[in-house]
Amino acid sequence: MSRNKLNLLCILIFGFSCLAFSFLPVKKIQFNNISLKAEVASEPQDRERGLMFRDSLNEDEGMLFIFKTPQVCYFWMKNMRFPIDIIWLSEDKEILGLNQNLLPCNDLCDSISSKKPVKFVLEVNAGFIQRHMVKIGDQLKF
């Protein structure tokens, strides 16, 4: 195989892997007169990768993690490139817990867990909870 064909093949493989990485289903989430577009991470590999290696989120974007059954969930900030807030949600989409301004880490990373079993977890930009006065007990729609 010529060098040019090999280079083209590498570029195509890289391009397709980037497409697979970035196209998750999107859900519209609404609460407290706020509307977000959240990528849905419902498969184990998507939940594991989460927002790792991304440079940012727009203010009206987030990532929604969906679990098959309510459970105590553990998250960490490994390989993150920006701080986030985490919103922990019950099966009926009520906010059960909030973690604010979680900073990225690369090596020894502490995990953050829900205090109660949750079915959904929403990650948004750091400061979102404070800017929008999000509180425990708020109900989300999606």
Residue at token pair 């040019």: 4
Count Cα neighbours of 134 within 13 Å in the Cβ-side half-sphere: 29
Question: Please, what CATH class does the domain formed by 25-131 belong to?
Answer: mainly beta
Question: pLDDT tens, 105-116?
Answer: 988 899 999 999
pLDDT in tens, 29-70: 999 899 999 999 999 999 999 999 999 999 999 999 999 999
pLDDT of residue 5 exceeding 90 = no
Give which of 67, 84, 64, 88 is closest to 76, Cα–Cα. 84
pLDDT at 3 (0 to 100)? 55
- For the chain, the domains span 25-131
CA distance 73 to 121: 9
Write the DSSP string, 23-49.
---EEEEEETTEEEEEEEE-SHHHHHH
